[in-house]
Amino acid sequence: MNVSVIGGTGFVGSHLVERLVADGHVPHLLVRPGSGSKVVQPEHCRVFEGDVADPAALAACLAGCEAVIYLIGILRERPEHGITFEELQLRGVERTIAAARRAGIGRFLLMSANGVEAQATPYQRTKYEAEEALKASDLAWTIFRPSVIFGDPRGRMEFCSQLKQDIIDSPLPVPLFFDGLAIGEAGRFQLAPVSVRDVAAAFSGALGEPATIGATYPLCGPAALTWKEILTTIAAASGKTKLMLPAPAVVIKAVAGLLDRWPWFPITRDQIQMLLQGNVCDSGDAFAQLGIVPQRFDVAALGYLKRD
């Protein structure tokens, strides 16, 4: 099957392209100018230069395809460069839905995020609104909502590599965030990291599974881990031990409010808020339906951190 992948050079995209090729599909990739070197297995792909805001490039990428997968997502905005949640996570989806309909493509798979809702952070809101736009279309849609995703970053931004760089490699103690005055809850909020290979397998598998049409699937790893457990595992995989201390979220948010406009500051106010909400789900039925045995989040799975 010819499959257009919007966001195919990013972290998840590189693993998905690899899986699509292994499953016998031909990825059509929309690649920004100057990013051609990020394409994995280019000999098995068709590459179209442009971006999601370029109607001609988008149309060329979708031409001749039977399905489209939209992966583009960002964790922080850079409005001065046109990089906003509204533009990339909502308007980009709307443009791609319209382009798919013009191209006669009936199948559309969207990567959303676990925990999205209408009244939340701009990241969560735009993901939610993109879901609603797709559901309102006449396309045969499938939506996946991954928790935090881990795996070999291949030189791209990835959850564990970023935490290693910003927190584990820092000379400062590891912050165990807590809300309000609940110091006893420091670092106890839970996440369920999911392997990027399992996410890629879910997307590729859904292409040939009609039962996934019209379904929304949460994708979480097989274990819910506390923030403290996650950082302890990342430290161990990096060959380090770290002092961990409670950190009141209100103080960190205040500092972020002053500094998170600059990309060198490691975390934003909204990211702290989303962390404290937790990010867990039960994906047993989804993985079973697609024949996937999800990878556990442990030191062995994070071997790639030793290369950093």
- 32-36, 159-163, 233-237: lowest mean pLDDT where? 32-36
Rounded CA-CA distance 155/307 in Å is 11
What is the rounded average pLDDT of the residues 12-41?
Answer: 95
Q: What is the chain's Cα-based Rg? A: 19
| pTM of this structure | 0.94
The model's pLDDT over 110-123, given as tens digits with 9 standing for 90+, comes to 999 998 988 789 99
| Per-residue pLDDT at 308 | 56
Instruction: Give the residue with greater pLDDT, 259 vs 47.
Output: 47
| Per-residue pLDDT at 269 | 78
Mean pLDDT of the chain: 93
∠ CA 33-34-40, rounded to 5°:
100
The model's pLDDT over 209-230, given as tens digits with 9 standing for 90+, comes to 999 999 999 999 999 999 999 9
Enumerate long-range contacts of 8-13, CB under 8 Å, 24 or more apart.
8/39, 8/45, 8/71, 9/35, 9/38, 9/39, 10/71, 10/72, 10/156, 11/149, 11/151, 11/153, 11/154, 11/156, 11/157, 11/158, 11/196, 12/71, 12/111, 12/149, 12/196, 12/199, 12/200, 13/71
| Per-residue pLDDT at 253 | 82
| CATH number 3.40.50.300 given to 2-152+192-223+279-298 | no
The model's pLDDT over 114-161, given as tens digits with 9 standing for 90+, comes to 989 887 899 999 999 999 999 999 999 999 999 999 999 998 889 999
What is the rounded average pLDDT of the residues 268-283?
Answer: 88
Pinpoint the residues of the chain covered by CATH 3.40.50.720.
2-152+192-223+279-298
Single-letter amino acid code for the residue at 297 = F
> What confidence category does residue 38 fall into, taking pLDDT thresholds of 50, 70 and 90?
very high
- On whether the CB atoms of residues 87 and 77 are closer than 8 A, the answer is no
CA within 13 Å, CB half, 106? 6
81 pLDDT more than 60:
yes
| Per-residue pLDDT at 251 | 85
> What confidence category does residue 276 fall into, taking pLDDT thresholds of 50, 70 and 90?
confident
| Per-residue pLDDT at 173 | 93
